[in-house]
Amino acid sequence: MQVLVGLEEELFLLNKMGFLSRFSEILLHRLVKDLSGDRDRLEKARKYLMGIQWEPNPSQIEYVTRPMGFSELEEAVKFSRKLIARAAIRTNQLIYVGSVHPVESNPLPLNGTHVNVSISSNGTPSNKLLAAIYMHIRNHLPEIIAVTANSPIMNGRIHGLGSARMMYSRVLKPSGPVIMRKRPVSFIPWRERSKTRYGVIFRKMKLFKSELVFDPTGDRLKEIAIRGPSTNIPEDIHTTKRSSRVEVRGVDNQATEEYLLDTALIIAGLAYEAAVLVGKGVKIRERKNLQRNRSRAIRHGIEAEFILDGGERVKARDSFLLMMDRIKEYIDSIGSMSSGLKEGVPEIIRIGMPEIVDQEKFSKLEEKNRVVTTIRLSGGRDGISLTGERFHVTGEVKGLLFPEYSLKFREENGIVRKFDRIEKRYWLLSKEGYIPLMESDDIIKAITPIGHMAKILEKLGES
């Protein structure tokens, strides 16, 4: 049995202070220039990578590996991350391998990892096998999501052990069970016209072509999808049979290569188990409570509690370990695990949460957009004018409330894996300049900018 795995990983570009840097175009320009003069690296890039893709946000970039045996994947991932990090350093940037920027993802931009897996004995998986792999992995999405959830801080606040990315992403919709349908023609909805101009496609040669359908409109932007010409996905209509695979998109980025590779290995192990089940003639049906467990995994991550088919409750970690016991033999036949996932310890637990230093009182106001504020300062202090001079201020001040962030992180050869400390300090922009705020200051009044408009009119009436 041949098992091929391919990875797509989206990365953030950062400036040297740890904030998003919007220069993916300059980075790729540099990368092409570097590769043109380095034959060895170029050959390696061609061996491991399909290419590097744009993302809608210019502070993101995505590398896509070729499908390969698991033994090659480690080298491919390390090479790809290094390749992009090298170009990032040369353009005064860094890469961050996280799913969510702790301050600037609000909730977008978001990163994710897509694991593509294909199993066959002759290089081309049958439709029946693809459907079984899809259904089997889909049945275990709650366990996969729970152990890979890795987006603990968003917008400067703790989000928890759940997956912020899965919660807020607009392109990770839940997938449906797959059905096999036979029809001589395909209908492409109008909204998919940018992918292919055909509205109706007449299949050639065969009167009836079997089609794998997991979404009636052929939308591939799901947490798990079947890809290839056997589906009703408009973009895949002209692809080859050999490209048929199952794509798992509901995986948060893993900071370390060990966790990333082990995640891919677990998904490959599940695919292998599905192939074995197909061989035994087992029909894979949707698990009971799948959607409820999926939602729980997204919300609580490893701390989720799943509902079993019989209604009993089980901790996400225990459910994951049960699954691991079952698929261990398949995993061992593909590769070996090296991260804490072996023991059901997610990366977020292993590397820990960043420390957050916040001024809660002001943070709450900002969250409600009540940023037009009057504050009574607890003591005299120096402010900074627009041109950098100091001025002394005391008593009541009026202005616009906003946070100033500073980030602490470790960087290794241009790669940032984790933020250690996120410090949020509030300031008031007044007519005189910027005034630092302290927790001991009193909030006299706080309204939203639009509320300020209404107040101005009310006061005009009174006067």
State the residues that interact with another protein by CB under 8 A. 15-17, 19, 21-23, 26, 91-93, 103-104, 106, 108, 366, 369, 371-372, 384-388, 398-400, 402-406, 427, 429-431, 433-434, 448-463
Residue 19 Cβ vs another protein, minimum distance, rounded to whole Å: 4
Smallest separation, CB 56 to another protein (Å): 9
Choice between 21 and 186, CB closer to another protein: 21
Closer residue to another protein, CB minimum distance, 164 or 268: 164
Least separation in angstroms between residue 454's CB and another protein is: 5
Comparing CB distances to another protein, the nearer of 126 and 448 is 448
- Nearest Cα to 163, choosing from 146, 176, 147, 149? 149
Rank residues 16 and 193 by Cβ distance to another protein and give the closer one: 16
Question: Residue 458 Cβ, how far from another protein at the closest point, in Å?
Answer: 6
Pairing of strands 381-384, 390-393: antiparallel
Which CB, 329 or 367, lies closer to another protein?
367
Residue 417, sorted as left (phi over 0), alpha (psi -120 to 50) or beta, turns out to be alpha
Please give the torsion angle defined by the CA atoms of residues 12, 17, 23 and 26, in that order, rounded to the nearest 10 degrees: -110
Single-letter residue type at 324? M
Smallest gap from Cβ 457 to another protein, in A, equals 5
Nearer to another protein, 125 or 383 (CB): 383
Measured from the Cβ of residue 429, the count of other Cβ atoms closer than 10 Å reads: 15
| Residue 459 CB, nearest approach to another protein (Å) | 3
Is the Cβ of residue 21 or residue 339 nearer to another protein in the bound state? 21
Closer CB to another protein, residue 107 or residue 174? 107
Strands 313-315 and 157-158: what pairing?
unpaired
91 or 124: whose CB is closer to another protein? 91
- How many whole angstroms separate alpha carbon 232 and alpha carbon 201? 11
Least separation in angstroms between CB 382 and another protein: 11
Least CB distance from residue 137 to another protein, whole Å?
33
Closer of 328 and 408 to another protein (Cβ): 408
- The C-alpha atoms of residue 91 and residue 32 are separated, in whole angstroms, by 13
CB of 395 to another protein, least distance (A): 16
Question: Do residues 61 and 27 touch, judged by C-beta distance below 8 A?
Answer: yes
Q: Which is nearer to another protein, 41 or 157 (CB)?
A: 157
Instruction: Compute CA 146 distance to the chain's CA centroid, rounded to the nearest angstrom.
Output: 14
Query: Which tokens is 108 given?
Result: 């977008």
In the complex, what is the shortest distance from the CB of residue 387 to another protein, in angstroms, rounded to a whole number?
Answer: 6
Q: How far is the CB of 223 from another protein (least distance, A)?
A: 23
